[in-house]
Amino acid sequence: MRFALVSVCLAGLAACRPPGWGKEVKPDASSDVDGGGSATTDAALDTPQALTCDHAFRVDGQSTASSVWLTGSFVAWAANPGGGAIELEQGIDGAWTGSYAFGAGTHQYKFVVDGSNWILDATNPNTADDGMGHTNSVYTCVP
């Protein structure tokens, strides 16, 4: 039986190789060739940071609020920070600000004021119907 398995692997050698076998890392022109450093490849440059868009938000007109959170499709519409909503910070001017690193694609979102008042982003004219009679703000990340 072992002989048959070895014969099958030798006959179809490519199928018995581990993923990535035979691939080599080639240094690019900017790599440290004689300094002992590691070679940089295009794959190493495709980090998660390179595939996101860091977007800043500002909510004005809510200076008397005790909290403002960002929520949306990117955090499964979490209704509070414990569930994944992003807390915004209030500045000395009364405005609430924060940012989020979005993955590539189109994302719908709203702000949650004082835990129960869901509002659109007044600074963003891009909106979409949510299919349930409400409107959401829309942000598209194109890295």
Q: Residue 23 corresponds to which tokens in the numbers above?
A: 């691939």
pLDDT at residue 25, rounded to an integer: 41
Show me where the domains of the chain are located. Answer: 49-141
Instruction: Say whether pLDDT at 33 is over 80.
Output: no
Superfamily of domain 49-141: Immunoglobulins (2.60.40.10)
Q: In the predicted model, is pLDDT for residue 115 greater than 70?
A: yes
3-class DSSP assignment, residue 92: coil
In the prediction, which pLDDT does 48 show? 54
Q: How many CB atoms lie within 10 A of CB 136?
A: 21
Q: What is the per-residue pLDDT across 77-109, written as a single tens digit (0 to 9) for each?
A: 999 999 999 999 999 999 999 999 999 999 999
